[in-house]
Amino acid sequence: MDGMAATGDSSRSARPTAAFFDLDKTIIARSSTMAFSKPFQAGGLISRRAVLRSSYAQFVYVLGGADHDQMEKMRAFMSTLVAGWDVATVREIVADTLHNIVDPLVYDEAVDLIEQHKAAGRDIVIVSTSGTEVVEPIGAMLGADIVVASRLEVEDGKYTGHIEYYAYAEEKARAIVELAELRGYDLAESYAYSDSSTDIPMLETVGHAFAVNPDKELRRAAASHDWPVLVFTKPVALRSRVPLPPAKQTIAVLAVGGVLAAGGVLWANVRRRRPGA
């Protein structure tokens, strides 16, 4: 696989390095948030009409990739949809159904890259526009060190319908730069992977950027920046590659693993303790 060149010896840099991964259509084969529409309906959180609408949005997303306007419409729809949802119920549904939904959707090639970057001593950072409730447990399953994801506002244990932090487009790049300052990453020797043109700012923050199953605009940008293009085509069951804990245990691990809020961004430390902890 061409991406294996991305896992060279990290000892060239005296500072720590990281590999930053978008989630949807980069690590998994569809929208992580939309994948939970039917379980949310079964749990009484959304209507059948909402399931159909989200399924159509997923269809458009898979075919050609959502543009900025489509993402904004979906953001507004989702934030309105979740208003009043009980946070504990959402987390329980995700925990109970995570393995059945995500397992067959993980790209084998992405898991290979993650394992190779770990072997090279790099931190694995997932940077996703999807919400923390979905991205955090997926990150734990993948053995990610850190998760950067959108965060919904919560009051009295329920979502208000407002987005507290939106990890999208330029904000992903800002989050990576802030995280590099916090953790001491050498971004010139770090790596990033994404499928979407909205993540061009994120890819531009590192010295080694890769376009994965890119949309048309990202493919053009990759050509102009001389970024390698990777094609991932093999969805596999993650449990066939990595020993996984029970879903509810995954949530427990996240709960006790420690969450560090920095500059308005949620950093979920999944695998290793912070220096001095």
Length of the chain (residues): 277
- Is-catalytic flag, 24? yes
Instruction: Report how far residue 269's alpha carbon sits from residue 277's, in angstroms, rounded to the nearest whole number.
Output: 12
CA angle centred on 134, ends 132 and 146, rounded to 5° = 55
Q: Which long-range contacts (CB under 8 A, 24 or more apart) does 158-162 make?
A: 158/84, 158/85, 158/86, 158/87, 159/82, 159/83, 159/84, 159/85, 159/87, 159/90, 160/83, 161/79, 161/80, 161/82, 161/83, 161/84, 162/79
Active-site annotation holder among 22, 145, 195, 215: 22
Is residue 28 helix, strand or coil?
strand
Q: Tokens in use for 260? A: 């560090």
- Is-catalytic flag, 108? no
Active-site annotation holder among 9, 24, 112, 123: 24
Q: How many CB atoms lie within 10 A of CB 52?
A: 12
Catalytic sites, residue numbers: 22, 24
